[in-house]
A and B are shown apart, each in its own frame.
Chain A
Amino acid sequence: MNIMTEKALESAVSDKMSGTPNEIIKMRGNKVGVFYGEKQALFDVDLDVRENQVTALIGPSGCGKSTFLRCLNRMNDTIDSARVTGKITLDNEDIYDKNIDVVELRARVGMVFQKPNPFPKSIYENVAYGPRIHGLAKKKSDMDHVVETSLKKAGLFNEVKDRLLEPGTGLSGGQQQRLCIARAIAVSPEVILMDEPCSALDPIATARVEELIDELRQNYTIVIVTHSMQQAARVSQRTAMFHLGYLVEEGATDKMFTNPDDKRTQDYITGRFG
């Protein structure tokens, strides 16, 4: 375990040394642990998230990957019994520091959930919700612009441009999930967290969302939890493997899928468990 994390860190260090613009560390977790009441769900996770890359978190059910993801924008705060230890930084600032405001943090680190959860409002209002609460668009025309570009970035605009005032809940599952992505983009976050965004979608809708993730990488840093090996291989540049609350291995996706260091990773990827 220790060896693994050290390896991971070594690679992080080497990335840092190389200093290419693509290798900027956007978020960093240091010895992150999570307790739900008495029960510890995550143990000493050290993991870096690089800017403008897609980092995939994989592992069998209950391995702690979603728990870790929810730490990155402090969604665990909403669970009464949850407690987070260790340190997580965003642009070198500790996000659990008392000077950091959770509302502001979540405006910078947006989230897309497992099941599409559009609000029971119109499509327009769904996208406009974030900018509106944060006061990001002062005028109606600004807001129209934000909504339109967000929907465009999410690849949904052409499908819904004639029915922006219809309820978001009336869209198909895949469209709803892209609406939720548009809703997250509209706040112009720096990082987007995605918690199994395709698990409730059919293969065609999944493919559409995966394409979208790849496009979004140009402008955003993305962390995605996924159950599907193929999806991790298709969309991510870095992959982190979790097991039983521990980070098993982390590295470039190509390497992880061809030549993993840890036997558990290999077993999982080849489908022996999970």
Chain B
Amino acid sequence: MSLMLVFALVFVIGAVAFFIGRQRAAAHDNGKVKPHSRAHYHGWWAFLLATLPALLLLAIWSIGSSVYLNSHINGQLPAQTAESAIASRTLAASLTKSLANGLRKLEPEAANNLPATFTELQPMLAARGVALAPDTQDYMIPIAVDANRTQDTMQLIGGVLVLALAVAGAVFGLSKIKVRARARNNVERLILWGLLGASTIAILTTVGIVLSMLFQSINFFERVPFFSFFFGTVWDPRFAAAGAGESAGQFGLIPLLAGTLYIALVAMLVAVPVGLMSAVYMAEYASPKVRAVVKPALELLAGIPTIVYGIFALVTLGPFLRDLSAALAGGTSFIQAQSILTAGLVMGVMLIPVVSSLSDDIITAVPRAMRDGSLGLGATRSETIRKVILPAALPGIVGAILLTASRAIGETMIVVLAAGVAANLTLNPFEAMTTITVKIVNQLTGDLEFNSPQTLVAFALGITLFFLTLIMNIFALYIVRKYREQYE
């Protein structure tokens, strides 16, 4: 029984329970006793009792059976594979899994008399549009067949169990219908739990992020010493061909961190003054007409995806700066096409609307009385802004700047396209440097071989990035909240 079918059947049972329940509750209302809840609440309660436990079981069963299937396949792989390097073992398991998936596409009669060797099998599968890796081995075929059979059995058992539970839930719910039964409270309590559950997804996501990256990072630090990652000054991961044994790469964080911070700094140098002045102008000077035009334009600027900025840097600004520098220096360009300057400039422009909208909120939160107090003493507008409003808004602005800096550090597409991939340590803004995010993308695109330090390092980089931005965000959000409370 397929997942979809079971899913649909559970809902059918639930719907039937709903209609019966509503009708029964309505029939109970004989006009003598005032019912506690209206009829449809009884219907919903029966529906929820029928569907929720069943769907929960369905979810647990599906995850459980896929975990079981994995270990089942792993257990059947021949011993020599099991003993060799872990990478090829997981590889064999995944090959078997895709083979099993492929076999499902075959016609029933073809599936019943499978050839014994992969060389014979491959064209049959190819005809059905299934492409498999050529290093699939013959011994995997019976394992795959067995895996499919086990999967079918598990699905059947699970389906029957789930449907039985759904029916039981429906019967139980219907048996509870009485005139004074508190169906509405029951339904509402469940909804409340549902609402609470939805809001905990935020926590689950954070936990998921931390745990997933932590596990992989621990894995990484078992191969590469902690110290040589965090304090290493050379980044040279040496992509080795799969299975080429231990290839010692160097995974020094320092050049990446330096590049990340340098580019972010250039970006902030552009974004903070420009964004702040834009916000001040919009909040204090612009006429309503100007605001009506410029505000949406700035929002538009904020709505442009970063890949577009990155491409602008790569295709237009980078070559332009290179040619410009060549023209200035008479021949040799001193600005590389991919450089800290290019990436930082473009990222800075991308951050202008971020700074300006954050600081706009902050500036408008300064009470009007403060403005009036200064203007009433005969200060000009700019004196009021510079000497009263900005100092009063300072904590909030610092928070906004921190939030922006955290965006700059985590920004990916602009630096992937504009900053370059060479892990240099340089102070020259006209040269290329690379960033943490660029390296995460580099290490994880293309063919992956999990469990190699070259791949795992991405998670170590990720967790570094996560905690770096986390600290900045929490600190910034704290400052901004304190700032707002002050004026409430």
Contacts and interface: CB of A to CB of B under 8 A. Distances in A.
Interface in A178-194: 180, 183-184, 187
B362 to A, nearest CB: 14
B364 to A, nearest CB: 14
B373 A106 contact: no
Interface in A122-166: 129-130, 133-134
Contacts of A118: 373
A121 B371 contact: no
A104 B378 contact: yes
Given A78-B371, A117-B369, A121-B391, A134 B378 contact: yes
A221 B379 CA distance: 21
B368 to A, nearest CB: 9
B371 A129 contact: no
Contacts of B371: 78
A57 interface: no
Interface string B392-410: 1000000000000000000
A111 B373 CA distance: 8
Contacts of B376: 73, 75, 106, 110-111, 113, 184
A187 B371 CA distance: 17
Contacts, number: 68
Interface stretch (B223-231, B327-335, B380-388): B380-388
A75 B378 contact: no
B448 interface: no
B369 A187 contact: no
B369 A115 contact: yes
A103 interface: yes
B372 A117 contact: yes
A248 interface: no
A36 interface: no
A133 B383 contact: yes
Contact of B374 (A73, A115, A119): A119
Contacts of B392: 119-120
B288 A113 contact: no
Interface string B150-171: 0000000000000000000000
A86 B200 CA distance: 63
B471 to A, nearest CB: 27
B474 interface: no
A129 B392 CA distance: 14
B305 interface: no
B387 A133 contact: yes
15 contacts: A75-B372, A103-B379, A103-B380, A106-B376, A107-B378, A117-B367, A117-B372, A119-B373, A129-B377, A130-B377, A130-B378, A133-B380, A134-B378, A183-B373, A183-B377
A110 B377 contact: yes
B288 A133 contact: no
A119 B377 contact: no
A145 B167 CA distance: 90
A109 to B, nearest CB: 9
B377 A117 contact: no
B388 A119 contact: yes
A245 B375 CA distance: 25
B56 interface: no
Which of A105, A130, A133, A184 has the largest count of B CB atoms less than 10 A from its CB?
A133
A38 interface: no
A34 to B, nearest CB: 17
B370 interface: yes
Nearest to B395: A120
Interface in B230-249: none
B377 A120 contact: no
Which of B376, B379, B380, B387 has the largest count of A CB atoms less than 10 A from its CB?
B376
A202 interface: no
Contacts of A104: 378
Contacts of A129: 374, 377, 379, 387-388
A129 B391 CA distance: 13
A117 B384 CA distance: 14
